[in-house]
Chain A
Amino acid sequence: MPSSNKIKLRELTQMSILLAGAIALRLLESSLSYLMPLPGAHLGLANCITIIVLYLYGPYKTLLFLVARVLLVGLLFTGILTPGFLIGLGGASLSYCVMAKASSSTLLSPVGVGLLGAFFHNVGQILVAIVLMHTTALFSYLPVLILLGIPTGFFTGLLAKLFLDRLKTYWQNK
């Protein structure tokens, strides 16, 4: 499906709607974070949108999408260049690199991409936190984060897969 690197007006509009959705989901899940078993943990619903964008528009346009999302989330919630912003940036960039590669593979479905995305998001966040705090003691968070990332990554990947499948049948019937 992803064609050229030039963004058509139609794609720009669609991606803008998805961007608004991703930011709204980010707001929703930070207000639901008290339900999570671990402080600061998220369901990763915004990542679900990233997977959808990745499959619909390809890696290059997803990169633009993510830059816009990270900057807007920074402006709206965490503030630019604060520790929280940098940690989110680390997670987003590492998980993007892995998911961009994984989404072009025919071996994986969006569920696998979601799992990998959740895992590398956690690793990226911890790596940035380790650099910020000058301590490797934060590695002790990783096992529990990885464990939590399995159901959340599975769930977001599955949501993306269901969405993409429906979209495909809709296009075929049109």
Chain B
Amino acid sequence: MRKADYLIVVILLIIAALGYGFLMLKNNSSHKILIIKHDNSVVERIALKNVRTETKLAIPVQDGTIIVRYDKNGAWVESSPCPDKICVHQGKITKTSETVACVPEKILLTIEEPEKEAEHDAILK
């Protein structure tokens, strides 16, 4: 172990901490929108605060059907025909800018904030 090795550990920790801090800053919104994309086009766009009960969504993909579930807190992939099932193991996402990706089936779940303008009651020009 040399000095520069420890320096790398410190730098990596700082980068990770900055990354976490940046994500935390974006996570303070209560109004969340779930966006489901397949092959880079939006399949569903759901305002989670309007969701009352847990809902199941079946999306046809290359190798079969992917099952997505969502409730008022967040969303998760219940089952997928992909080989590695990383998307299923990722579990539930609840915060803005969190993501579940199934790369083999080109499915992407993200939670985003509504557009900034929509939060204002009116914009005077």
Contact = CB atoms under 8 A, between A and B. Distances in A.
B9 A129 contact: no
A135 B19 contact: no
Interface residues of A, number: 32
A52 interface: no
A149 to B, nearest CB: 7
Contact of B19 (A87, A109, A143, A154): A143
A82 interface: yes
B58 interface: no
A49 interface: no
Q: Which range holds the interface residue count of chain B?
A: 20 to 34
Interface in B5-50: 5, 8-9, 12-13, 15-17, 19-20, 23, 37, 40
Secondary structure class of chain A's binding surface, majority of residues = helix
A119 B108 CA distance: 24
Contacts of B99: 135, 137-138, 140-141
Contacts of A67: none
Contacts of B124: none
B123 interface: no
Interface of A: 39-40, 82-84, 87, 105, 107-109, 111-112, 115-116, 119, 129, 132-135, 137-138, 140-144, 146-147, 149-150, 154
Nearest 10 pairs of A and B residues by beta carbon: A143-B19, A39-B89, A112-B5, A146-B16, A107-B4, A134-B40, A83-B103, A40-B86, A39-B86, A137-B99
15 contacts: A40-B84, A40-B89, A105-B4, A108-B5, A109-B2, A129-B103, A132-B103, A133-B106, A137-B99, A137-B108, A140-B99, A143-B17, A146-B19, A150-B12, A150-B16
